């Protein structure tokens, strides 16, 4: 069985996620020139991103389930076409509603098609170094803001936002579509031989209902939900908080860059540690570190301290996020992995949606962000507490026997 091809899947997945995530999340750099040229409100333009997040979460569940049936390659190929088409229509949109539908609907729907299918495929190729492999694939999403976003800014300055978005649409499709043909299912190990007079095995239940009712899925989804609910508010409002503490707008925005770079190191470090010490232990440790870092924000007022804390937090949540996919593989076979990852991604998107809104309400109500960080840290500790209840991995289901299982 040729296992070295798994690293080709890792490389292709990292590039695909980088280009796809970068193309979708570059909308903030279009905001100012779009508002100036079209007269659309910033709230209206930003609403396209909100729609995109919601659509991405629910679409991710559907795409993941579909990838279990037809494989990741056709799913990613369809999504690549949707992404290019959505960006093309958005670049030509003559009114705000059309832009919101194209960007929020098509681009957001395409964005949900990459994580679950690619992670499920990657996991299937690895028995050893599984945590490191999925962490390397997720690096693409971490690199995206440092690659695609600045590139889009340069194109906007040179050609205007419409031409820049059109060029990103063409470039993203031209990169992702050829790479999809490198994606293929992992070969299944031969099943153990059965005596001739042995009764035929019963088919494993792998429907959506049977998956989401399992305690393993419920605990995994709840932990992912609380994890994202804990860090989404601090991530979104930290720039505003730093400016309230006296930092310039440019310096405050650079805190995100520090978090992004730290997240890249966190993915690799946490991936290696999870392979050595166990995924569950590293997830719990990362969640506790994340909660402690969030709570520390209430004592931070200097820009240098913001940078130091951003490095810790970026490493913590950046390192933990891809490990949920690895833990899912300990509980579920590859035949439902897309469904499982799509489901937990949907819950994480819902968790992410609460942070910005909740943080804004807290500031409007109390006049500062103190209780945002206190409540977010408490949510982070709740995530760690739920993670402690992860049940032991069950015996592999019938279609998955014959493949080596992690201890």
CATH of the domain at 102: 1.20.1250.20
Residue 55 has pLDDT above 80, yes or no: yes
Residue 249 has pLDDT above 90, yes or no: no
Residue 227 has pLDDT above 90, yes or no: yes
Residues 98 and 237 placed together within one structural domain of the fold: no
Residues 156 and 225 placed together within one structural domain of the fold: no
Residue 329 lies in a domain: yes
Residues 44 and 141 placed together within one structural domain of the fold: yes
* Closest CA relative to residue 107, chosen from 15, 26, 32: 26
Residues 213 and 277 placed together within one structural domain of the fold: yes
Residue 406 lies in a domain: no
For the segment 281-299, the average pLDDT, to the nearest whole number, is 94
Using CB atoms within 10 A of its CB, is residue 156 exposed (0-12), middle (13-18) or buried (19+)?
Answer: buried
Final residue before a domain boundary, out of 142, 164, 180: 180
Give the angle subtended at the CA of 106 by the CAs of 41 and 56, to the nearest 5°. 90
Residue 41 lies in a domain: yes
Phi, psi (deg, nearest 5) at residue 400? -105, 0
Residue 198 lies in a domain: no
Each residue of 116-160: pLDDT tens digit?
888 888 888 887 777 788 878 877 777 776 778 778 888 888 899
Between 70-74, 138-142, 309-313, the lowest mean confidence (pLDDT) is in 138-142
pLDDT at 405: 41
CB 49 within 8 A of CB 100: no
Maximum distance among all Cα pairs of the chain, rounded to whole angstroms: 78
Residue 398 has pLDDT above 50, yes or no: no
Band (97; pLDDT cuts 50, 70, 90):
very high
> What's the domain range around 311?
208-393
CB 72 within 8 A of CB 124: no
For the segment 92-109, the average pLDDT, to the nearest whole number, is 92
Residue 202 lies in a domain: no
CA-CA distance, 230 to 293, in Å (whole number)? Answer: 11
Band (189; pLDDT cuts 50, 70, 90):
very low
* Closest CA relative to residue 84, chosen from 189, 1, 167: 167
Give the angle subtended at the CA of 149 by the CAs of 241 and 23, to the nearest 5°. 115
Residues 271 and 316 placed together within one structural domain of the fold: yes
pLDDT at 207: 59
Total domains present in the chain: 2
Between 167-171, 345-349, 380-384, the lowest mean confidence (pLDDT) is in 345-349
Residue 391 has pLDDT above 90, yes or no: no
Residues 216 and 140 placed together within one structural domain of the fold: no
Residue 252 has pLDDT above 80, yes or no: no
Three-state DSSP class for 300?
A: coil
Q: Is 0.85 topped by the overall pTM? A: no
Residues 163 and 34 placed together within one structural domain of the fold: yes
Judged by phi (left if over 0) then psi (alpha if -120 to 50, else beta), residue 367 lies in: left
Residues 71 and 175 placed together within one structural domain of the fold: yes
Residue 120, token pair as written in the block:
């499920």
């Amino acid at each position: 069985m040729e296992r070295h091809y798994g690293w080709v899947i890792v490389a292709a997945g990292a590039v695909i996620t980088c280009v796809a995530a970068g193309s979708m999340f570059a909308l903030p750099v279009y905001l100012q020139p779009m508002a100036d040229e079209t007269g659309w409100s910033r709230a209206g333009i930003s609403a396209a991103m909100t729609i995109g997040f919601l659509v991405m979460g629910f679409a991710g569940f559907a795409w993941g389930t579909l990838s279990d049936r037809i494989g990741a390659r056709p799913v990613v190929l369809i999504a690549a076409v949707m992404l290019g088409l959505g960006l093309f229509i958005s670049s030509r949109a003559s009114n705000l509603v059309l832009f919101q539908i194209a960007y929020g609907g098509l681009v957001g729907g395409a964005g949900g098609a990459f994580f679950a299918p690619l992670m499920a495929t990657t996991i299937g190729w690895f028995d050893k170094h599984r945590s490191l492999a999925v962490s390397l694939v997720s690096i693409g999403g971490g690199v995206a803001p440092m690659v695609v976003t600045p590139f889009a800014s340069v194109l906007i300055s040179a050609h205007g936002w419409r031409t820049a978005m059109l060029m990103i649409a063409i470039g993203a499709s031209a990169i992702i579509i050829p790479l999809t043909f490198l994606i293929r299912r992992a070969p299944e190990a031969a099943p153990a031989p059965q005596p001739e007079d042995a009764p035929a095995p019963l088919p494993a239940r792998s429907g959506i209902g049977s998956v989401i009712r399992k305690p393993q899925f419920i605990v995994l989804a709840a932990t992912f939900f609380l994890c994202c609910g804990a860090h989404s508010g601090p991530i979104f409002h930290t720039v505003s908080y730093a400016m309230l503490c006296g930092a310039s707008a440019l310096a405050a925005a650079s805190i995100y860059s520090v978090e992004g770079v730290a997240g890249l190191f966190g993915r690799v470090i946490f991936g290696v540690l999870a392979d050595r010490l166990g995924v569950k232990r590293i997830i719990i440790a990362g969640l506790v570190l994340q909660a402690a870092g969030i709570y520390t924000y209430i004592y931070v007022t200097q820009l240098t301290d913001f940078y130091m804390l951003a490095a810790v937090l970026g490493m913590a949540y950046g390192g933990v996020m891809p490990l949920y996919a690895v833990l899912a593989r300990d509980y579920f076979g590859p035949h439902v992995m897309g469904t499982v990852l799509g489901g937990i991604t949907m819950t994480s998107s819902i968790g992410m949606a609460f942070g910005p809104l909740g943080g804004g309400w807290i500031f409007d109500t109390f006049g500062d962000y103190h209780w945002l960080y206190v409540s977010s840290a408490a949510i982070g500790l709740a995530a760690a507490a739920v993670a402690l209840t992860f049940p032991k991995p069950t015996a592999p289901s019938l279609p998955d026997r014959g493949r080596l299982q992690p201890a």
